[in-house]
Amino acid sequence: MVEALQGLLAATLQVDDRIEFDSLRIHDSGPTLILPKLTLPDYKPNTSLKDPAPPGSLDELLKAQVRPMSFFERLFGLKGRYEKEVTKIRTDHAMAVRAHDEAVAKNSAIRAAHRAAYDNDVLERKRAHSVEVADVRERHRLAMESFASKRAQRDEEVSNLERAYKEGEVESIVLYNEMVLGNSDYPPGFPSQFRLAYVAESRQLVIDFELPTPAIVPAAAEYRYVKARKEVDVKTRKPAETKAIYRELVAQTALRTLHEVFEADQGGHLDLAVFNGYINKVDETTGNDVRPYLISVRVSKETFQAINLARVDAQACLKNLGAQVSAQPEEARAIRPVIEFDMVDPRFIEGTDILGQLDARPNLMDLSPSEFEALVGNLFTEMGLETKLTRSSRDGGVDAIAFDTRPVLGGKVVIQAKRYRGTVGVSAIRDLYGTLLNEGAKKGIIVTTSSYGSDAYKFADDKPLELIDGGGLLYLLEGIGRPARIIMPIDEG
């Protein structure tokens, strides 16, 4: 296991990480047609029937059993005895012949019935086999139709992915690199969890990668069988050795991942890549789940490909690349990533400095909804948050995402901006809370030019939600030196 952990980088150098799109297609010919075999029993005649022996010849019986007439019987014409005996023998022989013929006929009928039963059995088996063959053929036909449909769908999906990837569509580039990293074969115990984001403007891939904890390093350094005691002694690994192995693992994982995405970049879409490596653990002081980052590095493809990874010292290489590496990764001492993954959300759009364009004490109701969203984003930026506007959507979910970069207390904040004339109802607050949960944010803020109903405040109670009404918004703008007004338009008629 330790050898595998120490050879993470060397292992990937033997693999071609590029994904051939044709390999994603379905190449087999589909379900195989296997017809059921027809098995017929051998005909076994009824051997228990025995035909009786036929009666002897009448002439031989007469010769053997009838005494010829004597000289005197012929002389005096005395034929009575002789004829009587012949008649009796003839009658007995005729009855024997009839009995024999009847027995033979009876046996023939039994044999014919036996053969007919066999022939009927064969016929029924053949009929059943024909039905079964027809059923198998029909099921195979339906299976082939389904298979052909799935193959056509897969071919279309692969063709669309290949086209989109070659054209540089963001989602396809992310999906392609997800497949690349998903194919990477790590030793048992690796979380194999990661997130990717692609910034088309800078041609930069950002990788958020979960590292294993130090527990992946086996505690046992050696096993030794003691013959005298018939027991196995375990030699525990020294803490210093465990730390060294883990630090090397962290470094090699970073270089390995960067190597894989750069080598697989057949579309030439990557100029830069960022690797952020973190672990998931429980903060023993608070009992809360935390995600400390242990390593973060940004490097250009040109620079990275000039490195001979087969000969480098992984930790020295990362240091030379300017990587941020935890001083004590085995203790989960966190570093700040080069780029926060959530800050490269593809929904983000370029912000507008609405505050700088406003006249003194402007009426906020004169702003368009998008201008009002930009103003709210500017406000929170001025208040010290890193704020990003999102693309407009029909779901009314989130207008801006802000990041409080303070350690421990900071986190992700979702913001909704509503330039309303009427009261904001509880449904908008429910939507905000749902967005907060979906985004995994620590706090949700909704800002309006109007006010909120009592049901909205009641729903927000005991939740990480903050409702800022028109008065509160003006107060915050006043606090950053940008006084404004909210004058509702008068309804005509």
Tell me how far apart the alpha carbons of residues 56 and 405 are, in angstroms, rounded to a whole number.
124
375 or 157, which is more confident: 157
Q: Is the pLDDT of residue 123 over 50?
A: yes
pLDDT at 71: 64
Q: Taking the model in full, what pTM does it have?
A: 0.61
Mean pLDDT, the chain, integer:
85
* Residues counted in the chain: 493
Give me the mean pLDDT over the 404-432 stretch. 82
Q: Residue 430 has which token pair?
A: 């429910």
Confidence of residue 382 (pLDDT cuts 50, 70, 90): confident
Q: Is the pLDDT of residue 465 over 50?
A: yes
**Owner of token pair 């103003």:** 375
For residue 250, give every residue at least 6 positions away whose Cβ sits within 8 Å of its Cβ, in sequence order, or none. Answer: 211, 277, 294, 295, 325, 326, 329
For residue 428, give every residue at least 6 positions away whose Cβ sits within 8 Å of its Cβ, in sequence order, or none. Answer: 396, 416, 418, 446, 456
Phi, psi of 128 (to 5 degrees): -60, -40
Confidence of residue 17 (pLDDT cuts 50, 70, 90): very high
pLDDT, tens digit (0-9, with 9 covering 90-100), for 210-243: 999 998 888 877 778 777 787 787 788 888 988 9
Q: Is the pLDDT of residue 396 over 50?
A: no
Instruction: Say if CB 488 and CB 365 are below 8 A apart.
Output: yes
Phi, psi of 210 (to 5 degrees): -80, 125
Tell me how far apart the alpha carbons of residues 421 and 487 are, in angstroms, rounded to a whole number.
10
pLDDT, tens digit (0-9, with 9 covering 90-100), for 413-425: 888 888 888 889 9
Whole-number Cα distances in Å, 282 to 279, 285, 292, 323, 369? 10, 9, 10, 25, 42
Which percentage of the chain shows pLDDT scores above 70?
A: 89
pLDDT, tens digit (0-9, with 9 covering 90-100), for 367-379: 888 888 888 888 8
pLDDT at 348: 47
pLDDT, tens digit (0-9, with 9 covering 90-100), for 311-358: 999 999 999 999 999 989 888 898 888 877 766 555 444 545 556 656
Confidence of residue 395 (pLDDT cuts 50, 70, 90): very low
Q: Is the pLDDT of residue 437 over 80?
A: yes
Among 361, 377, 390, CA closest to 447: 377
Among 327, 186, 320, CA closest to 243: 327
Give me the mean pLDDT over the 238-249 stretch. 91
pLDDT at 391: 59
Q: Is the pLDDT of residue 50 over 90?
A: no
Among 217, 195, 249, 180, CA closest to 9: 249
Check the CA dihedral 317-203-183-16 and report its sign.
negative
Check the CA dihedral 194-195-198-204 and report its sign.
negative
Give me the mean pLDDT over the 406-435 stretch. 84
Confidence of residue 493 (pLDDT cuts 50, 70, 90): very low
Distance of CA 231 to the CA centre of its chain: 44
Instruction: Say if CB 8 and CB 256 are below 8 A apart.
Output: yes
Run of H or E including 417 = strand 411-418
SS3 273: strand
